[in-house]
Structures are given as structure tokens and as C-alpha cells.
Amino acid sequence: MSLSAHHTAPPTQVAVIGGGSWGTTIASLIATKTPTRLWCRRAEIAEEINEDSTNGQYLPGFSLTPGIVASVDMAQTLSEADVVAMAVPSHVFRGVMRKVAGHLQAGIPVVSFSKGLEQVTHRRMTEIVLEESPFSQAGVLTGPNLAREVLAGESAAAVLAMQDTGLAKVLQPLFSTEAFRVYVTDDVIGCELAGALKNVVAMVVGMADGLGISDNTRAAIITRGLEELTRLGVAMGGDPATFAGLAGLGDLLATCLSPHSRNHFVGEQLGRGRKLDEILDSMTQVAEGPRTTGAVMELAEEHDVYVPIAAELQAVLDGERSAGVAYRHLWGELSAQDWGEQPVARPSGR
């Protein structure tokens, strides 16, 4: 069955692609409402989900909604799906989407849960969906959503962005719960760029924590980071209001401040002097920030946008300077900018 903006019946079968922490969380959330199948890359994870309703590799200590059907068989997972949720990292998104496309009927909505940009092409994930499956309807769900907290039932909110907001409103109840609130927008570009670009800022804030820099400085970096990602996002077609909302500021704060943030962790370890390859090799999950930073630098040059925070992070990632030197240089760059805030004039002698 194909959904449309005029279709008001709930989906009858959802396929979630990606058995990591976020894909498993989304599958568990959706499974409370409708039959849900989950495609996993590794057979042992699929078996554990089917037999024990747990995913100890990515979500240790959590129980999943019973009844999720996990499989490594893509055709089986997609055989009756009328909605597809893509929750795989950006660097494998196209390859997986290409396999998914071979099993989709025309018109089936494909919602991305990935926060990154494709290397070399700098495509957003919904652009990849439409390139690999031109007859699909693409959207993105994004916001300040840490998988563990959502799965634990903590209150959270997200934004579902689709050009066809009528279809987005049809899908909205599928992803919403009493604790997990989903809002609708048509700014797909802004939502996807905000979700990807905030990872760069989160790594720099993590570096600050690794270096032991003060909360005042960290707050300034977050503020200027939001301004920097907004400049680039608007230059690329995003709505300025999006970057001040859940997809922008909300996600930025969660990623910069949470101890569960992978990108913050990478930045913190860089601040403590560890090498990037060593940090990434020690992680079981993907941090999008290191890959996104290079894309940001190229996009900023293409759109003539000044991005000093991303530039200093790239220098650290490339091994050109230490985190400490980069931070001192960054603060000099930011201090030289017009922040748009003038000090209040005070009477002389006070």
C-alpha cells in the first residue's frame, strides 16, 4: 500500500533500516503502534532482538518492544513495508539505499534519521533517497534525540520535515508518543543541514572540555557555533527559523552538552591529546562530525561563508596543530569579529 497526502489510514507495516542504537530505538518506538521489521547488518544482533528483545551491543541494559522482527534479509524486511525509516550512517547511506530501492514500490515514503553529509558529493540524505529511488517521497526526522533517553521514555521532541506537509502529518502519529513529541515542517534543507553541521560545533565544544576550558568560554563557542552553522545553512537554502528551533539550537545543545554524545566524546579526546584514528578505532558507534567537517569547509568555500570554528577543527583533524593551539587561534579569530553586540555606554568615572 502506498501512502499519500490524502491517505489518512495508519501505515500497516514499517521497515527500519539499521540496527544501531538509533535504528533500534525507532523500531522499538514504532512497534508499539504497528508491525515493524528491522534490518540489521549483523546476524547476531538480529537474533538477539528476535529472541531476547534486547540489543546489548548498542543499547545495553534496555528492553525493546516485543514483536520486532529483525533480519539480515533486506527483501524480507521490505516485502510489505509502506513506510521506510533509514537509520544508517551517512558514509554507507547511498549503498544501503540503493539496495533498499530495489525492493520499494513507487510512492512509499522514506524517512531519513541520519545526520551527516555524503563525502565528495556533499549530498543530503533525502537527496540520496531521491537519486536512488526517484519515485519515493523523502523526508527527515531530526532534533535533540539521544537514543538512550528516547528509549527510556524520557520527554523529547523532534521535527519531521517533508516538502509534502500533508504526508508528514499523516506520518506524524507513527513516530509520536506521549513522551516523544513530533512537529512538522516543510524545511527539509534546513533540518538536514542543521543536523549535520551541529556535529562540528559539538566536537569543538568537546575539545574545550578536554582542555579544561571554562563554562563561559564554552557558552561563547556554542553561541558562535550556532551563528556559524546558521550562516552556512541559510546560504544553502535553509530557513533561518529552523536553526533557532529543535533541529538547530535544540540538537546543538543536546549534542554539545550530553555525556552520551559521540561527537562531543571525539572532541573531548582530541582535547586530551589523543589522535583521531585512535579515538575512532576505540568506538563501537559512528561519530559523523569528523567526516562532516571536511564537507563543511568545502561548502563554505563554495558559498563564500566564513567558518572559523570548522576551520580550526579541520586543522586539528589534519594534525596541523594541537587542540590547545587551535583554541587559542580560534578565540583570536572570534574576538576579531563583529559579534553584533555593542557594550552599553556608561557614565565616565564609574
Domain boundaries defined on the chain: 14-186, 196-336
Count the alpha carbons within 13 Å of 331 in the hemisphere toward its beta carbon.
Answer: 14
For 30, the grid coordinates are 514504532
Please report the pLDDT score of residue 287 as a whole number.
Answer: 77
Please report the pLDDT score of residue 277 as a whole number.
Answer: 86
Please report the pLDDT score of residue 268 as a whole number.
Answer: 92
The helix (run of H) or strand (run of E) holding residue 184 is: strand 180-185
Please report the pLDDT score of residue 337 as a whole number.
Answer: 63
User: What is the Cα 300 distance to its own chain's centre?
Assistant: 20
Out of 115, 169, 198, 275, the active site residue is 198
Q: Whole-model pTM?
A: 0.88
Pairing of strands 156-162, 137-142: antiparallel
How far, in Å, CA of 83 to CA of 7, rounded? 13
Q: Is 198 a catalytic residue?
A: yes
Q: Which CATH number fits domain 14-186: 3.30.420.40, 3.40.50.720, 1.10.443.10, 1.10.150.110?
A: 3.40.50.720
How far, in Å, CA of 215 to CA of 336, rounded? 21
How far, in Å, CA of 13 to CA of 21, rounded? 21
Give which of 223, 222, 236 is closest to 192, Cα–Cα.
236
For 299, the grid coordinates are 561548502
Enumerate residue ranges in the chain where pLDDT < 70.
1-10, 335-350
> What single letter denotes the amino acid at residue 215?
D
Superfamily of domain 196-336: N-(1-d-carboxylethyl)-l-norvaline Dehydrogenase; domain 2 (1.10.1040.10)
